[in-house]
Structure 1
C-alpha cells in the first residue's frame, strides 16, 4: 500500500513539474511565438503604428526604439531569441533578446538594450545590445514579455544574473526629441500584439 501511495505521489510531482514551464507567448492568430522568426509588433489599440528603429537625438545615431503614429504602417520586423537558444518557443516571463531584422542604420547591432537616455532623461530602449551570452556583462540586453488584458507588454526585469541587482520596469511610449514617440520606462505599459512576417 505504501509503495502504491509513493508511486502516485511521485507521478503527481512529475506531472506538475512537466507542466511548470511558463505559457507560450501567442501571436495575433493564436500561434506560438517562434524564436528566430520575424514578427511585426503593433499596439493592441488600432490608433498608432508599429515599432521602428529611429534616431533619438539631433543626428542619425545613436538609434533607439520608437513608435510610428500612423496606423497603416506596421513598423520594422523583429526576431526574438530566448535565453536558451535551443528552445524554439518564446514563453512568458522568460529572458529574451529582441532584435530588428535587416541592416543597421548605425555602426551598432540591432539588438535592444536598456540604457539611460539623456535626451529624455530616463531609461529607454536603445540599439547596440549583445545577442546571447547571458550574464552580468549582458544584463541590459534581456527583456521579458508579459500578458496584458488585450495582448502583451515588454518588461525590463532580467534574471540572467542571480547575484545582480536589477530594476524591474514596464515599457511604454513616452514623448522624446522632436515629439518622437519612444519606447521607455513608463507607468502606462504599451500593450502589443505580434504579427508574423509572411
Structure 2
C-alpha cells in the first residue's frame, strides 16, 4: 500500500513538473538561428547577411559627414562587414530570441569608437527621417529581431514605459546622397546571420 501511495505521489509530482516545464518552454519566444541553423547566443559576434547583399553590400559603420566619430550605420558594397553582438535585457540564459528587447553592439575599425551601440537618431527634419547611428547606451538603443519570410528583420520599439508614447517601426534602408543608410522604414531590410569565427572561441 505504501509503495502504491509513493508511486502515486511521484506520478503527480512528475506530471506537475513536466507541465510546468512545457508551459515555460512554450511561452518563450523561439530562438534566432544563423545560416547554419545554429542558435544565436550572447557573448558571440555575428555578421548580418542582407538578402540583397550581393547587389548592395554588407552592413558597416562609416563617418559619412566628415564629423569626428559621428558614425552612421549603412549598407555598402566593397567594405569589410562589421561584426555585431546582441545583448538582451535578460542574458542569463545566453540565447537570443525573436521579439526580445536587445542592444546591438557593433565592432568597427575606428579607434575612437571600437565598440558601441546602435542608436536611433533624433528626427532629421531636413531629410524627414529617423536614421540609425551609433552612440552611448540610452533608451534609444533598444531593438528587436523578428522573423520575416526567409530571413529576419530589425524592429525599433523600445520598452521605455507603459505610459510613454514610443515609435514602433521596421528598420530599412534610405538613400541619402547615394548612400544606403539604415533608418526607420515601411520596408524592412531582410537578412540572415553568420557567426564570426574567432580563434579560441
Q: Calculate the TM-score normalised by the size of structure 2.
A: 0.80
Q: Is the 8 A contact 2:62 2:73 kept in 1?
A: yes
Q: Is the 8 A contact 1:41 1:50 kept in 2?
A: yes
Give the 3 Å change call, closer, same or farther, for CA 88–8 of structure 1 in structure 2. Answer: closer
| Residue 89 (structure 2) pairs with residue 83 (structure 1) | yes
Q: Is the 8 A contact 1:35 1:89 kept in 2?
A: yes
Match of 1:141 in 2: 141
Cα shift at 1:159: 2.1
Structure 2 runs not aligned, ≥5 long: 1-10
Q: 2:56 aligns with which of 43, 48, 51?
A: 48
Cα shift at 1:34: 1.1
Q: Is the 8 A contact 1:40 1:194 kept in 2?
A: yes
Matches of 2:157 and 2:108, distance apart in 1: 27
User: Could you say what the CA RMSD is over the residues aligned between the two structures, in angstroms?
Assistant: 2.8
| Within-5 A mapping of 1:18-37 | 18-37=25-44
| Residue 81 (structure 2) pairs with residue 96 (structure 1) | no
| Within-5 A mapping of 1:125-164 | 125-130=132-137, 138-164=138-164
Q: Calculate the TM-score normalised by the size of structure 1.
A: 0.81
Structure 1 runs not aligned, ≥5 long: 131-137
**Which has more radius of gyration?**
2
Give the 3 Å change call, closer, same or farther, for CA 62–140 of structure 1 in structure 2. Answer: same
Aligned residues: 186
Q: Secondary structure at the match of 2:47?
A: strand
Give the 3 Å change call, closer, same or farther, for CA 8–108 of structure 1 in structure 2. Answer: closer
Q: Is the 8 A contact 2:107 2:115 kept in 1?
A: no
Matches of 1:100 and 1:13, distance apart in 2: 38
Matches of 2:20 and 2:116, distance apart in 1: 42
Q: Is the 8 A contact 1:101 1:110 kept in 2?
A: yes
Matches of 1:86 and 1:13, distance apart in 2: 20
Q: Secondary structure at the match of 1:17?
A: helix
Q: Secondary structure at the match of 1:66?
A: strand
